[in-house]
Structure 1
Amino acid sequence: MAGRVQPRQLAFALPHAESLTRDDFLEGPANAAGLALIDAWPEWPNRVMLLVGPEGAGKSHLASIWAEQAGARSTTARALDLAAVPAALATGALVVEDLKPGEFDERALFHLMNLAREDGAFVLITARAAPAAAEIELRDLRSRLRALPVISLLPPDDGLLRALIVKFCADRQLAVDEAVVSYLASRIERSYAAARQAVALLDSEALRLGRPVTRALAAELLRKT
């Protein structure tokens, strides 16, 4: 009689908590300028500031810390609506996340910047890169954006990369030892996104295979990617 085929264990993508408090923010040379900006509020050089950095660099985390301090509301650039601008600035502070050229209402953002200046409100805008002049159609907005102070978050150094791996594992309640952290840090791309993706892959595969997260498992997975 033919042997039975063993059922494959399914891995379910369960939600995991990611803390965005100041205590859980990982400090390093790469994000020192961003953290200094948050700590300097309300003594900012401009009422509207632009915080830029690669995917996963901590822009949302810093924005969350500032929103807690400043009593700021939060929205995305894509959701910004001309008619809703006054209500968005009702608390005197607003986070506008993920500014991408061509994916937001230019008139709404221009009105927001004007109203913030008139009302003495603060606005923190996050983006992966500062918008280039050629990407903005509204001339007055183009001029305003070019004049904004830009605070940049840089790619992580080795120390921050290792700390990120540990944090992402802790967020998923994964028990890992130094061997796993060192192996990943020495072999993945030095970026926030790569660290997050590597930990997510380890988590899902460990669950699917019913195995603990070890250096051996990490080596197997990275060889396949």
Structure 2
Amino acid sequence: MAGSAQPRQLAFSLPHAESLTREDFLEGPGNAAAVALIDRWPDWPARTVMLTGESGAGKSHLASIWAVNSGARLTAARALTAATVPDALATGALVIEDVAPSAVDERALFHLLNLARQQQADVLMTARTLPATWTFDLPDLASRLRAVPVVTLASPDDALLRALIVKLCMDRQLTVDESLVNYVAARIERSFAAARRAVDLLDRESLRLGRPVTRALASELLRGPAA
């Protein structure tokens, strides 16, 4: 029918695989200490260690690398209970993701740390904030966590931010060029979360509009000062 509106293309949020191998981990000055910690296992400063950093900083990626090397099981802090503690340490190594006062059974975690010490098991915890800032009902747990060696993954420098944008695009099978990457990097805050949001926006809008991911599309979607 003449003059009828063209149907809009729907944008579906499809799952995309993110490679978590050692070769695909992006290294930079801000995460060098964390990478060194993972690479030097089992020569750790203590049997239990912690990685901290903002969302998307690479904590889970490094934890996955270490789990492959050590045979560690992986569990979310929220899933840890007193009943699951013995099985969690069955392989002698364990990753506990996203530890936080509001996201963990305090008695279960305290029991696990004690049992890990008795069994000489290795434990790698990840968290967004430093244990020194946490408040627990169990003083002994707070004291134990504050004694755990902590390595923090810092915000990315300019080179790592651009490399991250490229990797995120590759994970989504998006073809990008250097001009686009530089444009995006100059117009987002220097953080892992901002890079992920920008690439997600470009991917969704590219699909919705039926357009390739280009610098022109980025200029329409991103607002911010050039670096």
| Structures share fold, TM-score greater than 0.5 | yes
The alpha carbon displacement at 1:134 in A equals 5.3
The alpha carbon displacement at 1:183 in A equals 0.1
Corresponding residue of 1:156:
156
**SS in structure 2 at match of 1:8:** coil
Contact 2:100-2:134 at 8 Å conserved across structures: no
Work out the CA distance in 1 between the residues paired with 2:146 and 2:207. Answer: 48
Contact 2:101-2:134 at 8 Å conserved across structures: no
**SS in structure 2 at match of 1:152:** strand
Corresponding residue of 1:93:
93
Which amino acid in the other structure matches residue 148 of structure 2?
A: L
Whether 2:61 is the aligned partner of 1:61: answer yes
Corresponding residue of 1:47:
47
Work out the CA distance in 2 between the residues paired with 1:51 and 1:75. Answer: 15
The alpha carbon displacement at 1:100 in A equals 1.6
Percent identity of paired positions between Structure 1 and Structure 2: 70
Corresponding residue of 1:127:
127
**SS in structure 1 at match of 2:78:** coil
Whether 2:140 is the aligned partner of 1:140: answer yes
Contact 2:187-2:223 at 8 Å conserved across structures: no
The alpha carbon displacement at 1:156 in A equals 0.2
Work out the CA distance in 2 between the residues paired with 1:180 and 1:100. Answer: 37
Corresponding residue of 2:104:
104
Work out the CA distance in 2 between the residues paired with 1:35 and 1:223. Answer: 33
Range with bigger deviation, 11-20 or 59-68: 11-20
List alignment gaps of at least 5 residues for structure 1: none
TM-score (norm 2): 0.96
The alpha carbon displacement at 1:3 in A equals 1.5
Range with bigger deviation, 130-139 or 80-89: 130-139
The alpha carbon displacement at 1:40 in A equals 1.1
Write out per-residue CA displacement over residues 72-120 of structure 1, whole angstroms, 9 at most, x where no aligned residue: 0000111001111011000000000001212210001001100111001
Which amino acid in the other structure matches residue 126 of structure 1?
A: T
The alpha carbon displacement at 1:132 in A equals 3.6
**SS in structure 1 at match of 2:208:** helix
Work out the CA distance in 1 between the residues paired with 2:66 and 2:216. Answer: 41
Range with bigger deviation, 128-137 or 167-176: 128-137
Corresponding residue of 1:80:
80
Contact 1:10-1:208 at 8 Å conserved across structures: yes
Work out the CA distance in 1 between the residues paired with 2:93 and 2:197. Answer: 33
**SS in structure 1 at match of 2:95:** strand
Runs of 4 or more consecutive aligned structure 1 residues displaced over 2 Å after TM superposition = 131-134
Work out the CA distance in 1 between the residues paired with 2:103 and 2:150. Answer: 20
Corresponding residue of 1:196:
196
Write out per-residue CA displacement over residues 17-65 of structure 1, whole angstroms, 9 at most, x where no aligned residue: 1000001000111110110010111111111101100110000000000
Work out the CA distance in 1 between the residues paired with 2:40 and 2:118. Answer: 22
Corresponding residue of 2:71:
71
Work out the CA distance in 2 between the residues paired with 1:73 and 1:176. Answer: 36
Contact 1:133-1:142 at 8 Å conserved across structures: no
The alpha carbon displacement at 1:2 in A equals 6.7
Contact 1:202-1:213 at 8 Å conserved across structures: yes
